[in-house]
A and B are shown apart, each in its own frame.
Chain A
Amino acid sequence: MRGNLLYLDKESSLHQLHPLSKLAFTFFFLICAAALPGLDWLLAAYFFLLLPLAGWGQVTAPFLRSSWAVITPFVISLSLIQGFFTGGETVLFSLGRFAFTFEGWLAGLTVAARILVALGGALLLTLTTRPDALMQALTQRGLPNSLAYIVLSSIQIFPRFQDRAQLILQAQQARGLETGGNLVRRLKLLVPLSGPLILSSIVDVEERAMALEARGFSRPGRKTSLLVLRDSQAQRLLRFVLLLLGLGLITLRVWTLFQ
Chain B
Amino acid sequence: MNNFRKEFTTYSIALIAVAIAINIGGGQIPRLVGLPLYLDSIGTVLVGVLVGPWAGALTGFLSNVIWTLTGLYPQAIAWAGVAAIIGALAGIFGQAGWFQQWWKAAVGGLITGVVAAILSAPIAAYVFGGVTGSAGTDAVVAAFRASGLDALFSNVAQGTMSDPLDKMITFLVVWAVLLALPQRLKARSRGE
Residues in B with CB closer than 8 Å to A153 are 17, 21
- Verify if A209 is at the interface (C-beta below 8 Å from B): yes
Contact B145 A198 (CB under 8 A): no
Q: State the CA gap A186–B46 with chains docked (Å).
A: 22
Contact B74 A111 (CB under 8 A): no
Q: State the CA gap A161–B23 with chains docked (Å).
A: 9
Q: State the CA gap A74–B133 with chains docked (Å).
A: 5
Cβ-neighbour of B11 out of A161, A187, A206 (below 8 A): A206
Cβ-neighbour of B34 out of A147, A179, A217, A218 (below 8 A): A179
- Verify if A56 is at the interface (C-beta below 8 Å from B): no
Residues in A with CB closer than 8 Å to B169 are 187, 190
With contact pairs A150-B16, A157-B17 given, residues A198 and B146 touching in the complex (Cβ less than 8 Å): no
Q: State the CA gap A189–B35 with chains docked (Å).
A: 10
- Verify if A236 is at the interface (C-beta below 8 Å from B): no
With contact pairs A77-B138, A165-B32 given, residues A122 and B42 touching in the complex (Cβ less than 8 Å): no
Residues in A with CB closer than 8 Å to B74 are 66, 70, 119, 122-123
With contact pairs A149-B17, A202-B18 given, residues A209 and B33 touching in the complex (Cβ less than 8 Å): no
Residues in B with CB closer than 8 Å to A180 are 34
Q: State the CA gap A76–B45 with chains docked (Å).
A: 34
With contact pairs A154-B21, A194-B42 given, residues A73 and B134 touching in the complex (Cβ less than 8 Å): yes
Residue of B nearest to A62 (CB): B71
Q: State the CA gap A254–B129 with chains docked (Å).
A: 20
- Verify if B135 is at the interface (C-beta below 8 Å from A): yes
- Verify if B10 is at the interface (C-beta below 8 Å from A): yes
Contact A151 B69 (CB under 8 A): yes
Interface string of A100-127 (1 = CB under 8 A from B): 0000000110011001000100110010
Residue of B nearest to A129 (CB): B69
B14-47 contacts to A, CB under 8 A, are: 14-18, 20-22, 24-26, 28-30, 32-35, 39, 42, 46
Q: State the CA gap A197–B22 with chains docked (Å).
A: 9
Contact A81 B129 (CB under 8 A): yes
Residues in A with CB closer than 8 Å to B9 are 209
A69-116 contacts to B, CB under 8 A, are: 70, 73-74, 77-78, 80-82, 84-85, 98, 107-108, 111-112, 115
- Verify if A229 is at the interface (C-beta below 8 Å from B): no
- Verify if B1 is at the interface (C-beta below 8 Å from A): no
Q: State the CA gap A85–B151 with chains docked (Å).
A: 9
With contact pairs A190-B30, A190-B35, A203-B185 given, residues A81 and B66 touching in the complex (Cβ less than 8 Å): no
Q: How far is the CB of A222 from chain B (nearest CB, A)?
A: 18
With contact pairs A111-B128, A203-B185 given, residues A189 and B25 touching in the complex (Cβ less than 8 Å): no
Residues in A with CB closer than 8 Å to B57 are none
- Verify if A193 is at the interface (C-beta below 8 Å from B): yes
Q: How far is the CB of B26 from chain A (nearest CB, A)?
A: 5
B57-110 contacts to A, CB under 8 A, are: 62-63, 65-66, 68-71, 74-75, 77
Contact B18 A208 (CB under 8 A): yes
Residues in A with CB closer than 8 Å to B17 are 149-150, 153-154, 157, 208
Chain A contacts to B: CB under 8 angstroms: 4-6, 66, 70, 73-74, 77-78, 80-82, 84-85, 98, 107-108, 111-112, 115, 119, 122-123, 126, 131, 146-147, 149-151, 153-155, 157-162, 164-166, 169, 179-180, 183, 186-187, 189-191, 193-195, 197-199, 201-206, 208-209, 212-213, 217-218
Could you write out 20 A-B pairs with CB less than 8 Å apart?
Answer: A5-B69, A74-B133, A81-B129, A81-B142, A85-B145, A111-B131, A131-B69, A150-B13, A150-B62, A151-B62, A153-B17, A155-B66, A155-B70, A158-B21, A165-B25, A187-B35, A190-B29, A194-B173, A208-B17, A218-B10
**Extra contacts besides A122-B74, A198-B42 (4): CB < 8 Å:** A82-B130, A85-B142, A126-B69, A183-B35
